[in-house]
Every structure is written in C-alpha cells, then in structure tokens.
Chain A
Amino acid sequence: MKTQNNRAWFFVLPVLLLVAFNALIPMMTVVNYSVQETFGDNLFFWEGLTWFEQILRSERFHAALGRQFLFTGLILAIEVPLGIIIALSMPRKGFWVPVCLVTMALPMLIPWNVVGAMWNIFTLPDIGLLGYFMNNTLGIEYNMTRSPLAAWITIITMDVWHWTSLVVLLTYAGLVSIPDAYYQAAKIDGASSWSVFRYIQLPKLKQVLTIAILLRFMDSFNIYTEPFVLTGGGPGNSTTLLSIDLVKIALGQFDLGPAAAMSLIYFAITLLVSWLFYTLMTKDDAK
C-alpha cells in the first residue's frame, strides 16, 4: 500500500517543470497557429475553426491518414506475431543468449536517418545487394523510385527490420520470468506445446505485449525520418505518411494554420487510439 503524501509533489517538480517547458509552450504555439491566418510579418488574423474544418474535409488528409493506418496496421500484424515466434525459439541459457540479445538490439540503436540511408544503399537497383539480387538474379522488376508497390514493400520490410527486435526483447523478458514449476506442471498433465503457449505463456506475456504494442503503435504512427530518407514520400504520394505530409505543409508550403490544425487532429488520434487500446488491454487487471 502506498503512503498518502502530498509533499511527494516536490520530488516530481523538476520533471514537471522540464517537461511542461518542452510540451506546453510549443503546444500552445501550435494551438495559437491553428486558429489564425498569417501572411508573414507576424501579422495574424483570427480564423476560428476554419482550418480544422478544412483539414477534416480534405481528401489529402484522408488519404494520408488512410496510408498511415495501413502502414501501422501492417507492421503491427507482422512484427507482433513474428516477434513472439522468434522469442519462443530463442535459447534461454548459455553463451548464445547475450549474443542474440546484443545483435538483435543493434538495429534500434542506429540513427533513424542512417537506417533510411542504409536501406537506400541496400535496395539501389544496380548496386544495392537486395536490388541487384531481385533484378539480376531473380529477374523480378524491383525499383522503389518507380513502383509504389515496391516502395511499400521496402518501407514495411525496413520497419520490420528496425523494430521487430523490440517485440522480441519484451516477449523474451516476459518468457524468462515464468517459473520452471509452471512448465513441469504442464508436462505432468501432458499438455501439448500449443496449450503450454495458450494457457501458460500467453497470459504471462500480456503485460509486456501491451507495452510492446503500445510502443510500436505510437512510434510507427509518428514515423517520419526513415521513410522520408528512403522514399521521400514517393513515388508520387504513395508513401506520404501523416508526418511526412505534415512537414510538407508546415515547412514546404509554410501553411502554418492548416499544419497546426492538422498537428492537433493527428495528436488527438494518436492519444485516442493509445488510450482505447491501453484501457482494453488492462481492463481485466482492474477486476
């Protein structure tokens, strides 16, 4: 039981101040822009909710949002099961454990634009390893700058390469925390490996999987640098995800009002989905 103590606020104060400085002031700036029109020279005119209506009705926003959900849905559908399978087949003890963990964590520590640049070099049609292999050895036409399908397959593969390890490491941490006694009991009962997974491992993994899916949802929904470096949103607009579109509007066209309104809608969607998901996954614990 935790002690009731309101002086604990003093412990939290430095965190509160630093994060509030970084979060509230920029957020207020965004709110400010979202209800005004500017023609430069620091002249602003009240616009009310015009930008919000415009964004919510715009085809371009719907298209980018659709692509974003498609991307996030696909990578979750691939990374979560794949991560669980890999974690289940990893060794639990011995020399190979740290080797596996370190090599698997490596992609996550590479700066995001280097990840993009690396995959660019890897997939170049004539001089990249993958590009050369596809085009010249297998004879499959593969060029990211021309075919939207190839671009999509590449950004999905890149994300799987980059982040599946997060799911693996989380699942692995959950698996090693299950006491041996559980498995022995299952063995005595003659349980199949599927029922061991379904009734022993999966329930124990619920918490770590919640963290994994939440983190993967938030990060993939906000993804910017890697696809930007790799495809630049192209060919055409086929891989223009929400963040890329947002930066195009804000810094490319300098339409601050619509960009700010879009930011807020974007943030609200992320918050809503994360909150829904979190509540659904932790509902049973409260009982």
Chain B
Amino acid sequence: MRKRNLIPILYILFLMLPIYWLVAMSFKTTNEILAGFSLFPQTWTLENYAVIFTDPSWYWGYINSILYVSINTVISVCVALPAAYAFSRYSFLGDKQLFFWLLTNRMAPAAVFALPFFQLYSAIGLFDTHLAVALAHCLFNIPLAVWILEGFMGGVPKELDETAYVDGYSFPRFFVTIFLPTIKAGVGVAAFFCFMFSWVELLLAKTLTAVAAKPIAATMTKTASSAGYELGLLAAAGTLTIIPGAIVIYFVRNYIAKGFALGRV
C-alpha cells in the first residue's frame, strides 16, 4: 500500500516544482536573480507585486481577462443549455451531423483563425473590446459546453420530463425549476471548462485586442521583450494568473473527475 502511494506523491512533486520556482522567483529582487542560483529567496521582496498592483497597464490586464472570461462563460453556458437539451432528448433532422460539426470547431487550430478573426472583428467594429474576445472564444467553448451538458443530461431519466408535463408544468417552468437544479453539477462543470479554456487561451485574445481589452497574459509577453528581462516581475505576474484557476477548481473539486469525463461515466 505504501509503495502505491509513492506514485501520486512523486507526480504531484513533479507538478509543483516549476510552480514553486515561479513563485520563489517572484519574491526575489532583480539583483538576486541575476547574481546567481539560490534555492530560496535570500531577501524577500514584495516589490514585484507592488509594481503590478500600482501600474494600471498591469492591473487592467487582469480586469480585462476576468471580464472577457466571465462574459464568455455566461454566453456559452446560456446558449449551450437549450441546445444540449435538444441533443439529449430529441432526434431531429441532421442532429448527428450538427453535433459532429460542432466538435470539429474544437479541432481547428487557433493559429488558422488568427488573421481572419482580426479582419472579421475589425469589420464589425468590435476590435479591442471584451465582447470580441468573449465571442471569439465561443468558437471552441460552446461546442465543449454542449458536449459536457449533453453528457450530464443524458444521465437524467426521461421520466422526469414526462412526469412534470403530466403534473401540468409548462416547458420553461419545468426547465428552470426542476431540470436545472437536477443537473446543476453539470452546469457548474460546463462553466468551469468555459472559464478554463477562455482563461488559458492567448493567441486569439492577443490578436483581437490592442489596448482597451488587452489580457494580462499578453501584457506579460510585452514586458518580456520591451523592458529588458525583468524575470521577477514576469514571475509575479505569472503567479497571479495561477490564482483565479486555483479558486475555480476549489469550487468544483467534488465534480472535477466526472467533469473531465464530460459527464460520460
């Protein structure tokens, strides 16, 4: 039994090492970083974090990211809910083809779409807005949300719907007061995935923004090239980008395994 536990422990250790190094780096002074190797910060400093929290171009990057990620999550889940219900309960003309087509959008390399997206969103006057990034991320988040929700809804017996109709519920009332609470774990997991993929994606977010809606991660790339190589600052910004992810995982921790299986176990 002891030997068996060793494998997950070693794996988690391996996962934590680069993260530890990033966090340690963020508390070091630039001098210390450049002076050479040290396992722990010799002189702890909060200077790097102070820069981020006082410079608007840094903290606005944060706010921008959170804004477009939230908008995207709300849009994706709201439109995916009825669609997933349709796919799990009804068969209709072209349903299988439509489902597969939706999934193919998950396969398209973002690099393929970067330039056309830039032109499309410039043409409709949404360039450099939060909405543009939120809508663009719908490309891969909606199919994923539909896929996950369909999996969870498939696990709810159809008798539930039928009983409700017999009891005189109208469809909207049934959907909101009975069906949604039944699959709330699925909704949470779908929202989590939308958050996750919108939060980690950068190529499209960077292409579609210039100043007003620039994501935090893009601010980082710029710093790395323009202001010399301020590793401490970069590490601090990187550390801060890990926190929102850690918070949302904590909320879905009980459903996370089932969620990653897209509700299909």
Contact = CB atoms under 8 A, between A and B. Distances in A.
Contact of A207 (B246, B256, B264): B264
Contacts of B46: none
Contacts of B15: 103-104, 106-107, 161, 165
A105 B117 contact: no
A253 interface: no
B112 interface: yes
A6 B234 CA distance: 53
A271 interface: yes
A127 B261 CA distance: 39
Contacts, number: 270
A208 B245 contact: no
A112 B246 CA distance: 15
A14 B106 CA distance: 18
Contacts of B14: 161
A151 B235 CA distance: 21
Interface in A240-287: 242-243, 246-247, 250-251, 256, 259, 263, 266-267, 270-271, 274
Interface in B149-178: none
A118 B22 contact: yes
A114 B98 contact: no
Contacts of B102: 15, 19
A113 B242 CA distance: 12
Contact of A270 (B8, B93, B107, B216): B107
Interface string B17-57: 11111100100000001101101000000000000000000
A208 B37 contact: no
A138 interface: no
Interface string A215-226: 000100110110
B258 to A, nearest CB: 5
A101 B217 contact: no
Nearest to A177: B265
**Which interface residue of B19, B82, B98, B107 has the most chain A CB atoms within 10 A?**
B107
A12 B200 contact: no
B7 A86 contact: yes
Given A11-B85, A207-B264, A118 B104 contact: no
B67 interface: no
Contact of A23 (B105, B196, B235, B237): B105
A103 B16 contact: yes
B257 interface: yes
Chain B at the A interface: SS class: helix
Interface stretch (A25-33, A52-60, A139-147, A194-202): A25-33
Nearest to A208: B261
B12 A104 contact: yes
A209 to B, nearest CB: 10
Nearest to B147: A211
Interface residues of B, number: 95
Interface in B69-95: 75, 79-80, 82-83, 85-87, 89-93, 95
Contacts of A266: 109, 112
B27 to A, nearest CB: 13
A21 B139 CA distance: 9
Given A118-B238, A121-B235, A102 B79 contact: no
B217 A113 contact: yes
A43 interface: no
A271 B18 contact: no
B114 interface: yes
Nearest to B111: A243
A71 interface: no
B90 A246 contact: no
A15 B220 CA distance: 33
B109 A270 contact: yes
Interface string B128-146: 0000000110110011001
A155 to B, nearest CB: 14
Interface of A: 2-9, 11-12, 14-16, 18-19, 21-23, 25-27, 29-30, 85-86, 89-91, 98, 100-114, 117-119, 121-122, 126-130, 132, 136, 161, 164-166, 168-170, 172-174, 176-177, 207-208, 211, 218, 221-222, 224-225, 229, 242-243, 246-247, 250-251, 256, 259, 263, 266-267, 270-271, 274
The 4 closest A-B CB pairs, nearest first, are A109-B245, A26-B116, A11-B86, A173-B261
9 contacts: A2-B91, A5-B91, A19-B138, A89-B5, A104-B11, A110-B200, A112-B201, A114-B241, A170-B260
